[in-house]
């Protein structure tokens, strides 16, 4: 479940209740989409700790859409009503019904860790919220006329919250809102509630604040630790110095980590993740099944027996995850919420990390801040409904879609804006006539 706050230029702050989605058809995928101003309401949903989505509106009069809020990309896109080969969506954009729609007639293709889409760059009024009370901003976005391999995405599109290096120097929505004087600061913060993969809990509902942050409500300590951001080519990227599991250092080939709300797991280079696997296998008898690590959490060992996982960043700043954060428990077994993405040179700090730390994204000063969140540890507790979808006879863990997605996730971070993407995938555009 998600809440949304917006800071108006008049300093008004509005809190918004969020909808609750009980039963979903779950497609377990960590591949990047799943891998979020003034005076408005908005609803964001936590889909069992795997996808976070919320409502925006586009056009005149406004048309409503549920989009995934993704700090690992920068484009806003929604599906066109004219798309006949797109993933199943609840809402699609009808350009003929918007008096303010402009087709810029510039084709654009985007490739994600799993999935791709193509359409024309367009412009229209965009509102964040579900009641249209926000001052609208004219925003460039992609009106998608073709997509593929988005069958597991339960949303009408994606709202990217990265830098303009990932959007052909076109200002992303947050930057555009500041330039249009809707918000004073190009800053937003994200509190990801831990709903225990669908279990009942007493944690606060999730929250995005555009234009500011609220340490009093969402952080255990009232101090923010900031790390400088390396924005090339536009991600929220920080320097990574070393990783520890307990007191054992992991030999790093990487030096970068991307902070990404659009990725569910911790994702890392194969050589480094394998060192963590090996430590847990030697120390606790964990076993690999289908490239995923399963550990005993109810026979010889309890979850609390496992060590902390530490990430050390620039200036010797260290953040840790307890086993309650990086494991998902079902019965007497635990699944390590970590996966590899080949011979990459970076880590992706997905929602596993971000549920532990309330995160402040400061575009103006090119930095990202962290404060330990008020979440209680519930992810490592009993999560049988979800894990039963992952654990099957013979120890098979993740479906083939996940494995394929992880192998190509690296493209999201190293190829998407370095290759001529319009030629990277067979997604011919529909006629705009």
**In CATH, what number is assigned to the domain containing residue 37?**
2.40.70.10
Handedness of CA 379, 382, 386, 387 (dihedral sign): positive
| Domain total of the chain | 2
Q: Which of 170-174, 325-329, 411-415 has the lowest mean pLDDT?
A: 411-415
* Catalytic residue flag (residue 82): no
Residue 423 clears pLDDT 70, i.e. is over it: no
Highest mean pLDDT among 52-61, 267-276, 375-384: 267-276
CA distance 121 to 63: 18
Cα–Cα distance, 19 to 381 (Å, whole number): 24
CA distance linking residue 34 with residue 55, whole number of Å: 16
Contact criterion met (CB below 8 Å) for 249 and 309: no
pLDDT value at 275 more than 70: yes
To the query of whether residue 364 is one of the catalytic residues in this protein, the response is: no
Tell whether 224 and 164 lie within a shared domain: no
**CA angle at 347 for the pair 344 and 352, rounded to the nearest 5°:** 140
Least trusted range by pLDDT, from 129-143, 152-166, 177-191, 291-305: 129-143
CB 112 within 8 A of CB 33: yes
Is the sign of the CA dihedral 67, 72, 75, 79 positive or negative?
negative
SS (H, E, C) the chain: CEEEEEECCCCCEECCCCCCCCCCCCCCCCCCCCCCCCCCCCCEEEECCCEEEEEEEECCCCEEEEEEEECCCCCEEEEECCCCCCCCCCCCECHHHCCCCEEEEEEEEEECCCCEEEEEEEEEEEEECCCCCCCCEEEEEEEEEEEECCCCCCCCEEEECCCHHHCCCCCCHHHHHHHCCCCCCCEEEEECCCCCCCCCCCCCCEEEEECCCCHHHHECCCCCEEEECECCCCCCEEEEEEEEECCEEECCCCCEEEECCCCCCEEECHHHHHHHHHHHHHHHCCEEECCEEEEECCCCCCHHHCCCEEEEEHHHCEEEECHHHHEEEECCEEEECEEECCCCCEEEECHHHHCCEEEEEECCCCEEEEEEECCCCCCCCECHHHHHHHCCHHHCCCCHHHHHHHHHHHHHHHCCCCCCHHHCCCCCCCCCC
Q: Do residue 264 and residue 333 come from a single domain?
A: yes
Residue 84 pLDDT level (bands cut at 50, 70, 90):
confident
Per-residue pLDDT at 202: 55
Q: Pick from 183, 185, 181, 188: which is nearest to 213 by CA?
A: 188
At 35 the pLDDT is: 26
| Residue 431 within any structural domain of the chain | no
> How many whole angstroms separate alpha carbon 276 and alpha carbon 337?
12
* pLDDT > 60? residue 165: yes
Kindly state the tokens that stand for 253. Answer: 């080939």
In a domain, 207, yes or no: no
Statement to judge: residues 79 and 150 lie in one domain? yes
Q: Does one domain contain both 277 and 404?
A: yes
| Domain end marker among 137, 171, 189 | 189
Cis peptide before 332 (omega within 30 of 0): no
Name the domain boundary from 154, 189, 224. 189
Phi and psi of 96, rounded to 5°?
A: -70, -15
Same domain as 140, residue 253: no
Catalytic residue among 70, 130, 147, 351: 70
- The mean pLDDT of 153-160, rounded to a whole number, is 89
Which of 110, 104, 128, 124 is CA-nearest to residue 167? 110
Q: How far apart are CA 337 and CA 146, in angstroms?
A: 32
Looking at the fold, whether 172 and 223 belong to one and the same domain comes out as: no
Q: Are residues 395 and 260 in the same domain?
A: yes
Residue 428 lies in a domain: no
Give the pLDDT confidence score for residue 179 in this predicted structure.
94
User: Rounded to two decimals, what is the model's pTM?
Assistant: 0.80
pLDDT class for 193, splitting at 50, 70, 90? confident
Domain hosting 107: range is 2-189
The predicted pLDDT at position 184 comes to 86
- Does residue 250 share a domain with residue 139? no
Residue 104 domain-assigned?
yes
Neighbours of 85 (CB within 10 A): 11
Q: Structure tokens of 288?
A: 């690999």
CA dihedral defined by 73, 259, 45, 122, rounded to 10 degrees?
-10
Alpha carbon 116 to its chain centroid, in Å, reads: 16
Residue 201: band (very low, low, confident or very high) from pLDDT cuts 50, 70, 90: low
User: Among the three residues 171, 189, 207, which one is the final residue of a domain in this structure?
Assistant: 189
The catalytic residue among 260, 296, 351, 362 is 260
The sign of the CA dihedral 339, 200, 373, 128 is positive
Tell me, yes or no, whether 160 and 48 share the same domain: yes
pLDDT for position 264: 86
Bridge partners, residue 191, by sequence: 207
Provide mean pLDDT across the span 301-316: 95
Given a cut of 70, whether residue 347 has pLDDT beyond it is: yes
Q: In this predicted model, which residue has the larger pLDDT, 208 or 1?
A: 208
Could you tell me if 185 and 314 lie in one domain?
A: no
Residue 1 has pLDDT above 90, yes or no: no
> Whole-angstrom Cα distance, residue 124 to residue 77?
12
Based on the fold, state whether residues 344 and 249 are members of the same structural domain.
yes
Is the pLDDT confidence value at 113 over 90? no
For the segment 241-261, the average pLDDT, to the nearest whole number, is 91
Place of tokens 């996940």: 402
Based on the domain organization, do 12 and 160 belong to the same domain?
Answer: yes
pLDDT at 131: 54
201 assigned to some structural domain: no
Residue 399 has pLDDT above 70, yes or no: no
């Amino acid at each position: 479940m998600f809440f949304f706050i917006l800071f108006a230029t008049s300093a008004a702050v509005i809190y918004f209740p969020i909808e609750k989605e009980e039963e979903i058809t779950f497609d377990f995928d960590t591949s990047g989409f799943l891998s979020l101003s003034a005076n408005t309401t908005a609803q964001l949903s936590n889909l069992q700790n795997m996808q976070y989505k919320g409502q925006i509106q586009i056009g005149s009069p406004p048309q409503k859409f549920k989009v995934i809020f993704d700090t690992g990309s920068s484009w806003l896109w929604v599906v066109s009503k004219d798309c006949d080969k797109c993933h199943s969506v609840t809402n699609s954009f009808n350009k003929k019904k918007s008096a303010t729609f402009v087709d810029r007639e510039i084709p654009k293709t985007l490739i994600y860790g799993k999935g791709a889409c193509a359409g024309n760059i367009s412009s229209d009024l965009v509102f964040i919220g579900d009641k249209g009370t926000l001052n609208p901003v004219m925003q460039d976005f992609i009106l998608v006329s073709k997509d593929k391999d988005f069958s597991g995405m339960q949303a009408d599109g994606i709202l990217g919250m990265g830098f303009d290096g990932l959007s052909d120097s076109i200002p992303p929505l947050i930057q555009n809102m500041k330039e249009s004087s809707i918000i004073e600061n190009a800053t937003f913060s994200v509190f990801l509630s831990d709903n225990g993969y669908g279990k009942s809990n007493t944690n606060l509902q999730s929250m995005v604040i555009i234009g500011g942050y609220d340490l009093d409500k969402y952080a255990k300590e009232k101090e923010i630790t900031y790390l400088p951001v390396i924005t090339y080519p536009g991600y929220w990227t920080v320097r990574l110095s070393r990783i520890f599991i307990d007191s054992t250092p992991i030999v790093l080939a990487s030096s970068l980590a991307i902070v990404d709300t659009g990725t569910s797991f911790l994702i890392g280079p194969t050589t480094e993740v394998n060192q963590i696997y090996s430590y847990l296998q030697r120390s606790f008898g964990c076993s690999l099944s289908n490239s995923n690590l399963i550990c005993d959490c109810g026979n010889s060992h309890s979850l609390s027996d496992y060590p902390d996982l530490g990430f050390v960043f620039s200036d010797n700043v260290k953040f840790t995850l307890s086993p309650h954060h990086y494991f998902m428990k079902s019965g007497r077994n635990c699944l390590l919420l970590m996966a590899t993405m080949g011979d990459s040179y970076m880590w992706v700090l997905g929602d596993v990390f971000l549920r532990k730390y309330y995160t402040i994204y400061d575009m103006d000063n090119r930095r990202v801040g962290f404060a330990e969140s008020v979440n209680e540890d519930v992810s490592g507790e009993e999560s049988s409904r979800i894990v039963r979808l992952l654990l099957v006879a013979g120890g098979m863990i993740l479906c083939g879609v996940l494995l394929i997605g992880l192998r190509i996730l690296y493209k999201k971070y190293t190829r998407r804006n370095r290759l001529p993407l319009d030629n990277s995938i067979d997604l011919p555009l529909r006629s705009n006539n």
